[in-house]
Amino acid sequence: GLPFWQVKRIIERELRAPIGQIFASLDETPAATASIAQVHFGTLASDGSAVAVKVACVGSKGKMLSDMRTMLRVAVALHRFGLDGGLDLPTIMRAYWDIVPDEFDLRIEAAK
């Protein structure tokens, strides 16, 4: 996961305010980490509400898109040579391509 100093910098940049102005507390240790993002629990300074703050890992979207381009190239090659078992892997990868970028837009997740 990201070190807390980096998490703090990302939050302050995105929310355009010092972290202490927004949160009464924010756990420095993430409650959960993954390749795309990590989650920190905290309390809002404004009303004391408990919150979960999800912070995207720097560079994770670029890495994922690069990996997906590689997977699409492999899928096309396998399909071209009839080695995809009749699954039409390029179509599957293109469908995946339409879905995955939304996983990096934390506003979409927050709206759910």
pLDDT tens digit at each of 112 positions of the chain: 899 999 999 999 999 999 999 999 999 999 999 888 999 999 999 999 999 999 988 788 888 889 999 999 999 999 999 998 989 999 999 998 888 888 888 788 777 7
Spatial neighbors of 8 by CB under 8 A, at least 6 apart, are: 19
Tell me the two tokens of residue 79: 């399909």
Q: Is residue 73 located within the same domain as residue 34? A: no
Beta pairing partners, 40? 53
Q: Is residue 14 located within the same domain as residue 49? A: yes
Q: Please say which residue of 56, 75, 93 terminates a domain.
A: 56
Q: Is residue 34 located within the same domain as residue 12? A: yes
Asked whether the beta carbons of 79 and 94 are under 8 A apart, the reply is no
Number of domains in the chain: 2
d(CA 79, CA 83): 6
User: Which residue range is the domain that position 90 belongs to?
Assistant: 60-111
Q: Is residue 65 located within the same domain as residue 51? A: no
Instruction: Say which residue the tokens 């399909």 belong to.
Output: 79
Q: Is residue 12 located within the same domain as residue 51? A: yes
Q: Is residue 21 located within the same domain as residue 45? A: yes
Q: Is residue 107 located within the same domain as residue 68? A: yes
Asked whether the beta carbons of 12 and 19 are under 8 A apart, the reply is yes
Spatial neighbors of 43 by CB under 8 A, at least 6 apart, are: 23, 24, 25, 26, 49, 50, 51
Q: Is residue 68 located within the same domain as residue 52? A: no
Rounded to two decimals, the pTM is: 0.71
Is 88 strand, coil or helix? coil
Q: Is residue 49 located within the same domain as residue 64? A: no
